[in-house]
Chain A
Amino acid sequence: MYDFLIIGAGISGAMIARDLSKFKCSVALVEKDNDVANESTSANSAIIHSGHDPKEGSLKAKLNVRGNELYEDLCKELKVDFERNGCFVVAVDEDELPQLNFLYNQALSRNIPCSIISAEEAHKREPNLSDSVIAALDLPSTGIVSPWEVAIAAVEDACNNGVELFLGNKVVSIEKKADHFVVATTKAEYLAKFVINCAGVYADDIYNLVSDKKLFTITPRRGEYYLLDKQTTPFVHRTIFPIPTDKGKGVLVARTIHHNVILGPNSEFVEDKESIDNTQPALDYIRKEVFKTLKNIPLNQVIRTYSGLRPSGSTHDFIIEESEEVPNFINVAAIESPGLASAPAISEYVLNEIISKKFEFILKESRIERRPWIIINRMNYDEKNALVQKDPAFAQMICRCEHVSEGEIVDIIHRNAGALTVKGVKRRVRPGAGRCQGGFCEPKVVAILARELKKSPLDILLDSDDSRLLVGKTKE
């Protein structure tokens, strides 16, 4: 019997699992996919918003502001990258100035560092801004992270400190007993006193396994993106937003933490919870929209397109509460933007405002610190060679675009919440994330995974169980 069972290892589930791991309790983290951070957490804008945008009085506003405050220390503890590179919200039309002022005043009232700057000043700091920009709201506390790195590191840290992760376990039924739940998955049955529903776009379906009541519905809202190659001189230093509309924060242009550029997203409600495809109309729309705020966009350097689903809830706010009807069942649902930015605050809220009323938290005496990923490309000459002295695999280069060695890949396979798939390896140490998109390194990554996981290369997966890469051996 677990004290807590968390359904879904996206950013929300990851954060809650990690925070629970600080206390004396038993935690199971159950995930349907073969990796953590495999859905919305891996396909979003990767921005730690300042909190200026959400509607006054909403949970989104409160948790976004708090989340932004928590991120810096969180990333230090997890030993992942975080950069407070700021953002501009830009007006390109006189009609947009009232809205810019409104956002400025809203940010001010939330104690968010902000200022309105002239077009001249904005262009000085971002030379590629469109000539039609007439003023900008500067929000320097906005940041960027790699969302999946934060989530993976959080789960790894949680597992180092006692949380049990169960991948490939899709929840199929939940039964409420007198003092516990029986959660059945495609692989096993788990008993737990509390269930925390962090199932993203499936959160309504999960809730309806334990209750017939339609408390809320989740509609996937797709966002599509272009990813551009790494830039030697930054195309933008900070994230550039247009003036928001009722559809959302609009098509942004951002530098990623890995020095790529992303363009997107659009916003489109879709029916299917697996519609993570790209569509021509959306891609065309993004190409058009980005030129409203920027110029000289190097569209010839596109290396990939992707899309993700925002779990949009019927209440238009985060739904974070214990079910009235099913005690000890906690919904953490409708975590759409600013979900990533709010994640540490969401977890704090769940523990402090909900669980602590029913469960006595006792801090563990000690904690195992997470060992950061080894990133050869960032080390100096002596550090690299010291590592090679210990293991020459750190000098066997696998990925030419991102300079990833075999040693780095082996390391991230044999960790808690380690990589089991080609996508899992890419997500952690980036072979395949560069301009050749795995053209040169994928066969080598498959061979390493097969060797380390003691499997045939024929059984190596790109991602899901049905995503085998190779179909057979060649004729002798």
Chain B
Amino acid sequence: MKTYDLVIIGGGSAGLASAMGAYDQGIRDILILERDRELGGILQQCIHNGFGLIEFKEELAGPAYAERFVDLIVNNEIQYKLNAMVTHMSNDKVIEYVTPSEGYVTIKAKAIILAMGCRERTRGAIAIPGFRPAGIWSAGTAQRYLNMEGYIVGKKVFILGSGDIGLIMARRMILEGAEVLGVAEIMPYSNGLPRNIKQCLIDFDIPLFLSHTITRIEGLDRVSQVEVSQVDENFRPIKGTEKYFDVDTVLFSVGLIPENALSEEAEVEIHPRTRGPIVNESYQTSVDGIFACGNVLHVHDLVDFVSLESRKAGTAAARYLKNELKPGKTFDCIAKDGIGYIVPHKINIENVDKSLECMFRVTKNVKNVALTIKKDGVVLRTVKKRHLAPAEMEKLILSKADLMDCKESISIEITEV
């Protein structure tokens, strides 16, 4: 069985940046396993602009953003395999993958970085009533048909969910000559980035129905109509508020779910809220030597943040391989009132250099509040915030001094000002 120092599962934005993170720390025996026909992951089908403002200080299309990283991988002669899907992974870091050129191959890794990304939540998962005809897709699948395969999926479209892919696809379908009759969002606020609401809906006069959902899909063979209803505060449809749209296509942009089937097979502990692995300050999971970053860990808003996080995970994996990660006591990061989750979930201060970035999301839209950070239940500090939204990932930097002497936990909560 061939052994590699570092195997990275997934050659998308997380996998590529983590490879560079490890490479920059002197790790050379790296293998990236990518299941698609090219590196770059979902970026390859995101042909719209808006990527790279943080990472490269310029605005790029998805494939161009990917190319910058692919060039680094190629120029540094980091090994990768395409059409290579990992079929099994165990907690002793044995991996089985399959490619047409080699067949089924078993390898051993000294360290693994999980970078499998996420999948879209489906119509089935949210159990929307009605028929199950042709014309129902998740927005990303429609995007793949359109941008990668060169086919249009419909002429009259309704979109459920105001996630960014749905918004981007609303504009994209219009540019291809389709009609987009509306976007319904079950929450009282949009889940997409404000800039996408502006550029993809408002600029094209596409109505956004907040606190609305699809309550029925009609059409035995092909979608013919959707019934859209307003929902109450418990998200139950309100009778008498039904609107009907004659469409041939419904796209779903109702959330992304980290793709952790392999992680679960390797007995990596999964966080119930993020549905990604529980990681520490070094992005190490509950299994020794298995790291996670990018959308497999928690769903990000911007690829730039994925790259930043993944480079750090790659750096940490390199430190692990060089025996520089110190064992030691960890304490927990706890999401309290109004906070959905915090990554990392655990901290071993021995491995924090000067400071640590905590990423978190709030559970609902709030204005003029304070974030209260507590150490072992005692207020460390409060930070005033004018506006916080679940659609936007927040960042909190804790200095080593902040973390010093913490015994049990660091917590974040939203408090009144």
The answer to whether B85 and A397 touch across the interface, beta carbons within 8 angstroms, is: yes
Measured in the bound complex, the distance between the Cα atoms of B125 and A302 in whole Å is 5
In the complex, the answer to whether A468 meets B141 with C-beta atoms within 8 Å is: no
Kindly identify, within residues 420 to 476 of chain A, every residue whose CB is under 8 Å from any CB belonging to chain B. 435-440, 442-443, 447, 457-458, 461-475
Using known A-B contacts A280-B215, A396-B100, A443-B149, determine if residue A435 contacts B119 with beta carbons closer than 8 Å. Answer: yes
- On whether the beta carbons of A443 and B145 are closer than 8 Å, the reply is yes
A303-B124, A466-B221, A474-B146 given; name 16 further pairs at CB < 8 Å.
A280-B129, A305-B124, A384-B104, A385-B104, A392-B101, A397-B98, A436-B119, A439-B120, A439-B140, A443-B144, A457-B151, A463-B134, A471-B155, A473-B150, A473-B152, A474-B151
Q: Assess the A467–B134 pair: CB atoms within 8 A.
A: yes
Is the pair A469, B153 in contact by a Cβ cutoff of 8 Å? yes
Q: How far is it, in angstroms, between the C-alpha of A239 and the C-alpha of B161 when the chains are bound?
A: 36
Q: How far is the CA of A443 from the CA of B124 in the complex (A)?
A: 18
A393 located at the interface, meaning its Cβ lies under 8 Å from any Cβ of chain B in the complex? yes
Task: Tell yes or no: A401 within 8 A of B by CB.
Answer: yes
Docked pose: A280 CA to B120 CA in angstroms? 23
- The reply to whether A385 and B103 contact each other, CB–CB distance below 8 Å, is yes
Q: How far, in whole Å, are A443 and B176 apart by their CA atoms in the complex?
A: 19
4 closest A-B pairs by CB = A304-B124, A466-B221, A388-B103, A462-B134
- Kindly provide the distance from the CB of B207 to the nearest chain A CB, expressed in whole angstroms: 23
**Also in contact, A472 and B120, with CB within 8 A (given A392-B101, A400-B85, A443-B145):** no
A227 within 8 A of B: yes
User: Which of the residues B104, B130, B177 comes within 8 Å of A395, measured between beta carbons?
Assistant: B104
Q: Total interface residues on B, using CB and 8 Å?
A: 55
Is residue B131 within 8 Å, beta carbon to beta carbon, of the partner chain?
yes
Tell whether, in the assembled complex, residue A458 and residue B261 are in contact, meaning their CB atoms are under 8 Å apart. no
Which of B98, B122, B133 contacts A437, CB < 8 Å?
B122
Residue in chain B with minimal CB distance to A272:
B220
Q: B100 contacts which of A278, A393, A435 (Cβ < 8 Å)?
A: A393
Residues of B130-175 contacting chain A, CB below 8 A: 130-135, 137-138, 140-141, 144-146, 148-155
Partner of A439, one of B119, B146, B176: B119
Is B409 part of the binding interface, using a Cβ–Cβ cutoff of 8 Å? no
CB distance from A462 to the nearest CB of B (A): 4
Q: Is A411 an interface residue (CB 8 A)?
A: no
Residue of B with least CB distance to A287: B127
A interface list, Cβ under 8 A from B: 226-227, 232, 274, 276-280, 283, 302-306, 381, 384-385, 388-389, 392-393, 395-397, 400-401, 403, 405, 435-440, 442-443, 447, 457-458, 461-475
Residues of A within 8 A of B148 (CB): 443
A380 to chain B, nearest CB (A): 10
Query: B87 at the A/B interface (Cβ < 8 Å)?
Result: yes
Cβ-based interface call for B309 (8 A): no
Distance between Cα atoms of A389 and B130 in the complex (Å): 46
Inter-chain contact count A-B, CB under 8 Å?
147
* A278 and B127 within 8 A (CB): yes
Taking Cβ atoms with an 8 Å cutoff, the residues of B that contact A are 35, 83, 85, 87, 96, 98-104, 106, 119-120, 122-125, 127, 129-135, 137-138, 140-141, 144-146, 148-155, 176-177, 215-216, 220-222, 237, 248, 259, 261, 264-265
CB-CB < 8 A to A280: which residues of B? 129, 215, 237
CB contacts (< 8 Å) of B248 on chain A: these are 471
Q: How far is the CA of A178 from the CA of B224 in the complex (A)?
A: 46
**Minimum C-beta distance from A285 to chain B (A):** 12
For B262, the closest partner residue in chain A by CB is: A400
Q: How far is the CB of B14 from chain A (nearest CB, A)?
A: 16
Closest to B267 in A: A232
Known contacts being A469-B153, A471-B155, is A440 close to B119, with CB within 8 Å?
yes
Contacts of B265 in A (CB 8 A): 232
A304 to B122 alpha-carbon distance, docked (Å): 8
Who on chain B is nearest to A396 by CB? B100
Q: Which residue of B lies closest to A462 (CB)?
A: B134
- What A residues does B237 contact at CB under 8 A? 280
Q: With A302-B127, A472-B151, A474-B152 given, is the CB distance from A392 to B100 under 8 Å?
A: yes
Chain A proximity of B93: nearest CB distance (Å):
18
Q: Could you tell me the distance between the alpha carbons of A428 and B133 in the complex, rounded to whole angstroms?
A: 19
Are A278 and B153 in touch, CB under 8 angstroms?
no
- Would A439 and B83 count as touching, CB distance under 8 A? no
Answer whether A226 and B127 are a contact pair too, CB < 8 Å, given A306-B132, A439-B138, A466-B221: yes
A458 vs chain B, min Cβ distance (A): 7
B240 to chain A, nearest CB (A): 15
CB-CB under 8 A from A381, the residues of chain B are: 96, 104, 106
A417 to chain B, nearest CB (A): 22
Shortest beta-carbon distance from B33 to chain A in Å: 11
Q: Flag if B100 contacts A305 (CB, 8 Å).
A: no
Asked if B151 and A470 sit within 8 Å, CB to CB, the answer is yes
Tell me whether A470 and B152 are in contact in the complex, defined as CB-CB below 8 angstroms, given that A401-B261, A443-B145 are known contacts: yes
**B103 contacts A474, CB within 8 Å?**
no
Q: List 7 A-B contacts (CB under 8 A).
A: A277-B130, A381-B96, A381-B104, A443-B141, A447-B149, A462-B133, A472-B152
C-alpha spacing A10/B229, complex, angstroms? 37
* Contact partners of A443 in chain B: CB under 8 A: 141, 144-145, 148-149
The answer to whether A389 touches B103 (Cβ under 8 A) is yes
- The answer to whether B149 and A395 touch across the interface, beta carbons within 8 angstroms, is no
Contact in complex: A467, B138 (CB < 8 Å): no
Q: Does the CB pair A463–B85 fall under 8 Å?
A: no
Q: How far is the CA of A232 from the CA of B141 in the complex (A)?
A: 27
Whether A471 touches B124, Cβ cut-off 8 Å, given contacts A381-B104, A395-B104, is no
* A472 and B176 alpha carbons, distance in the complex (Å): 10
Closest A residue to B131 by beta carbon equals: A277
Given the complex of chains A and B, what is the CA–CA distance between A440 and B237 in angstroms?
31
Q: Is the beta-carbon distance between B124 and A437 smaller than 8 angstroms?
A: yes
Whether the Cβ atoms of A303 and B149 lie closer than 8 Å is no
The CA of A245 and the CA of B268, in the complex, are separated in Å by 44
Q: Please, which residues of chain A bring their CB within 8 A of the CB of B120?
A: 436, 439
Once the chains bind, are A439 and B141 in contact (CB under 8 Å)? yes
CA distance A403 to B87 in the complex (A): 7
Query: How far apart are the CA atoms of A475 and B106 in the complex, in Å?
Result: 44
A462 to B141, CA, bound (A): 15
> Given A232-B264, A303-B124, A435-B119 in contact, is the A475-B177 Cβ separation under 8 Å?
yes
- A residues in contact with B104, CB < 8 Å: 381, 384-385, 388, 395
Q: Which of A278, A469, A471 is in CB contact (< 8 Å) with B130?
A: A278
Which A residues are in CB contact (< 8 Å) with B103? 384-385, 388-389, 392, 395
Q: Which residue of A lies closest to B122 (CB)?
A: A437
**B35 contacts A400, CB within 8 Å?**
yes
Instruction: Indicate if the CB atoms of B101 and A474 lie closer than 8 Å.
Output: no
Find chain B residues with CB under 8 A from A392 CB.
100-101, 103
Q: Nearest CB to that of A464 among chain B residues?
A: B221
- Give the chain B neighbours of A471 by CB distance below 8 A: 152-155, 248
- In this complex, the member of A302, A392, A395, A442 whose beta carbon has the largest number of chain B beta carbons within 10 angstroms is A395
A468 — which chain B residues lie within 8 A by C-beta? 134, 222
C-alpha spacing A267/B197, complex, angstroms: 43
Q: How far is the CB of B219 from chain A (nearest CB, A)?
A: 9
Instruction: Find A279's partner among B101, B129, B138, B177 (CB 8 Å cutoff).
Output: B129
Docked Cα-Cα span, A109 to B70, in Å, equals: 72
Complex Cα distance A466/B135, Å? 11
Q: What CA separation (Å) do A285 and B75 show in the bound complex?
A: 59
Q: How far is the CA of A403 from the CA of B261 in the complex (A)?
A: 12
Measured CA separation A464–B134 after assembly (Å): 9
Do B131 and A283 touch across chains, with their CB atoms under 8 A apart? Answer: no
B123, B129, B131, B140: most-surrounded residue (chain A CB, <10 A):
B129
Q: Which residue in A226, A232, A393, A474 is a CB contact (below 8 Å) of B176?
A: A474
Q: Name the residue among A276, A384, A457, A469 with the largest chain B CB count within 10 angstroms.
A: A469
Cα distance A445–B155 in the bound complex, in angstroms:
22
Measured between beta carbons, the chain B residues less than 8 angstroms from A462 are: 133-134
Residues of A within 8 A of B220 (CB): 274, 276, 464
